[in-house]
Amino acid sequence: MNVQRHLGRLKARSGVQGWIIHDVRKTVATGMARIGILPHIIECVLNHRSGFRSGVHGIYNLEKYEPEVTQALLRWAEHVMALVEGRPDKVVALRP
């Protein structure tokens, strides 16, 4: 897979200038937090090795949280599609 080629296509199709892939990661992380996805699951989605995966916890907890990551990505997809289609979001934040 040629990442640079795909990134170039995405940038051209977006019509937005001056962004980098890290901007997408920040937007996804912030948006997922806004719809109630837990921080450690967001870190797994982004494949971060800091935060809860650093230090002692990162050494002993090798769980990948695959079902939770899948659910988070499905919730994010629903949220984005609602924005794109201009309809109410079915995602409900679970924060108290």
Nearest to 93 by CA among 19, 37, 15: 37
User: Which is higher by pLDDT, 50 or 59?
Assistant: 59
Mean pLDDT, rounded, for 7-34: 92
Q: What is the 3-state secondary structure (H, E, C) of the chain?
A: CCHHHHHHHHHHHHCCCCCCHHHHHHHHHHHHHHCCCCHHHHHHHHCCCCHHHCHHHHHHCCCCCHHHHHHHHHHHHHHHHHHHHCCCCCCCCCCC
Residue 54 has pLDDT above 90, yes or no: no
Mean pLDDT of 7-21: 89
Question: Average pLDDT of the chain?
Answer: 88
More confident residue, 13 or 95: 13
Distance from C-alpha of 3 to C-alpha of 11, rounded to nearest angstrom: 12
What percentage of the chain exceeds 70 in pLDDT? 93
Higher pLDDT, 68 or 10: 68
pLDDT score, position 1:
63
| 40 vs 47: CA distance, rounded Å | 10
- How do the domains of the chain map onto residue ranges? 18-85
